[in-house]
Amino acid sequence: MIVILDFGSQYSELIARRIRETSVYSEVVSYRTTAAQLRQIAPKGIILSGGPNSVYDDQAPACDPEIWELGIPVLGVCYGMQLMVKQLGGQVERASRGEYGKASLLIDDPTDLLTNVENTATMWMSHGDSVTQLPGGFKTLAHTTNTPCAAIADDQRHFYGVQFHPEVVHSIGGQALIRNFVYHICGCEPTWTTAAFVDEAIREVRAKVGDKRVLLALSGGVDSSTLAFLLHQAIGDQLTCMFIDQGFMRKYEPERLVKLFQEQFHIPVVYVNARERFLAQVVGITDPEEKRRRIGHEFIQVFEEESNRLGPFDYLAQGTLYPDVIESANTNIDPKTGERVAVKIKSHHNVGGLPPNLRFKLVEPLRKLFKDEVREVGRSLGLPDEIVRRHPFPGPGLAIRIIGEITPERLDILRDADLIVRQEINRSETYHQLWQAFAVLLPVRSVGVMGDQRTYAYPIVLRLVSSEDGMTADWSRVPYELLETISNRIVNEVPGVNRVVYDITSKPPGTIEWE
């Protein structure tokens, strides 16, 4: 295993994902993790991540200096390299010119860490400070025009540092560098594979659950579906899958989901029709956060009632993923105080996002996995592409895509418009290039003309975005013809809509959903 000490970089998780892509298990832990704790974890290598601070800030986060005595190879990335240099007696200074964006790596020593990395390879840089003097025992492996020490090594003690970010996709040869560190320097074995994970997860679930019953709230997304497959394989009919229909799903989705699971996958699903109840909760509510709160609350109510009716259950299965359990996920370190801060933009409600005080014990077999690994596991268990590659869909569903008040009429309009968006996206084969594609209904009306008649009806907003992870996103430059077809069909086929507009806002400053 490789452990990443997180100093607050937005890329810490990405480093872990890149390492796992080499079939080696990797975890992100706080920079405060002590050398004694690391000795317990016994990783084959340690990576110090980047971070927003300067090593000379008053509150700059630092690692336990005992780490240098563990005898474990260390790779410092950006801030991590500067910290290594400072702690081991070298010098870091504010550079006269920072380096941001792509830079050409000029290799001085093409051995170990830089094996198979081409001279002049493009690497992604983002730093204001630079190393100006190496600690004893270190040598320079590579430089760039602006940065004399772009890659450094003490190959006796197996300490390495890179000023650039090998983990980002723009760094050509970055993955080769990571492989060199993981395999040649740390001596890891490629044991982190989907098949090995599935075997172990099944064994662990069986050992934990014994002959007890497990309840799972199925949403139809890739996480809960993969969980259902995994648990069904592990414990068969000790598993009960419950699907709560809130009435905010896309057109035909609830029926399709239940049919798929029952008839094709032979996994029984208890279908709970709670449409009226949820609608009653949101009538007259226009505030986005209040909508989310009410829907989340109602979900828990229904869930409790139904689990009492169907139970008793000892365990609740949750599709918790690794980014949810990393203590530092989605937080930043305040440069002034050194404390972690997280800014709440929206309170996400997830299906299965239940409060911890329910009386169940939890089974969370996916908690070590990143999303792309869940997809691999799902695929290996036989989940069809239709689910494995499905776009994300928010827990509150169409309720947060009707801006303002939700009414049955508006739900019907949005469902019909949204179905057309999906049909045309599928037909044009752009589905897999997009992160999400959907319609939003605005609570205003505008004037139009159809035939010789004046119309006064709602506009539909098309939101088609590309993204890597949902944290940032860009509006998609799909062909005008596709937009035209969607617009024509919606205006002609969906009564109550007379105008279609295209949202050309990136995230940030917009968010993907409108509420």
**Which active-site residues does the annotation give?**
78, 165, 167
Gap between the Cα atoms of 322 and 318, Å rounded: 12
Does position 223 bind ligand XMP by CB under 6 A?
no
Nearer to ligand XMP, 345 or 449 (CB): 345
Does position 365 bind ligand XMP by CB under 6 A?
no
- Shortest Cβ distance from residue 395 to ligand XMP (Å)? 4
- Shortest Cβ distance from residue 169 to ligand XMP (Å)? 20
Gap between the Cα atoms of 121 and 172, Å rounded: 6
Does position 352 bind ligand XMP by CB under 6 A?
no
Give the CA count within 13 Å in the CB-facing half-sphere of 402: 28
What stretches of 286-399 show up as alpha helix (H) in DSSP? 288-310, 322-325, 371-380, 385-388
**Residue 168 DSSP symbol:** S
- Shortest Cβ distance from residue 390 to ligand XMP (Å)? 11
Does position 395 bind ligand XMP by CB under 6 A?
yes
Q: Does residue 120 come out as left (phi exceeding 0), alpha (psi in the -120 to 50 range) or beta?
A: left
- Shortest Cβ distance from residue 489 to ligand XMP (Å)? 23
Does position 323 bind ligand XMP by CB under 6 A?
no
**Contact code string over 410-449 relative to ligand XMP, x by CB under 6 A:** --------------------------x-------------
Neighbours of 375 (CB within 10 A): 21
Segment near ligand XMP (CB under 6 A), from 160-168, 281-289, 319-327, 394-402?
Answer: 394-402
Does position 368 bind ligand XMP by CB under 6 A?
no
Does position 384 bind ligand XMP by CB under 6 A?
no
**Contact code string over 475-514 relative to ligand XMP, x by CB under 6 A:** --------------------------------x---xxx-
Gap between the Cα atoms of 411 and 394, Å rounded: 16
Give me the phi and psi of 167, to 5 degrees please.
-80, -20
Of 164, 394, 406, 414, the one binding ligand XMP (CB under 6 A) is 394
Return the H-helix or E-strand segment holding 202. Answer: helix 194-209
Return the H-helix or E-strand segment holding 83. Answer: helix 79-87
Output the CA–CA distances (angstroms, integers) from residue 454 to 447, 457, 460, in the order listed: 7, 10, 18
**Is-cis flag, bond preceding 509, omega within 30?**
yes
Gap between the Cα atoms of 234 and 199, Å rounded: 9
Of 157, 277, 293, 346, the one binding ligand XMP (CB under 6 A) is 346
Q: Are 78 and 163 in contact (CB under 8 A)?
A: yes
Give me the phi and psi of 133, to 5 degrees please.
-145, 130
Gap between the Cα atoms of 446 and 455, Å rounded: 8
Nearer to ligand XMP, 292 or 422 (CB): 292
- Shortest Cβ distance from residue 269 to ligand XMP (Å)? 20
Does position 378 bind ligand XMP by CB under 6 A?
no
Sign of the Cα torsion 199, 268, 295, 407 reads: positive
Task: Give the residue ranges of the annotated binding site for ATP.
Answer: 219-225
**Contact code string over 279-318 relative to ligand XMP, x by CB under 6 A:** -------------x--------------------------
Nearer to ligand XMP, 135 or 394 (CB): 394
* N-to-C CA span, the chain: 40
Gap between the Cα atoms of 76 and 85, Å rounded: 9
Task: Give the residue ranges of the annotated binding site.
Answer: 219-225
Nearer to ligand XMP, 93 or 469 (CB): 469
Short-list 24, 45, 16, 41, CA closest to 371: 16
Does position 349 bind ligand XMP by CB under 6 A?
yes
Does position 470 bind ligand XMP by CB under 6 A?
yes
Gap between the Cα atoms of 380 and 369, Å rounded: 14
Does position 350 bind ligand XMP by CB under 6 A?
yes
Nearer to ligand XMP, 82 or 436 (CB): 436
Footprint of ligand XMP on this chain (CB under 6 A)? 292, 345-346, 348-350, 392, 394-396, 436, 470, 507, 511-513
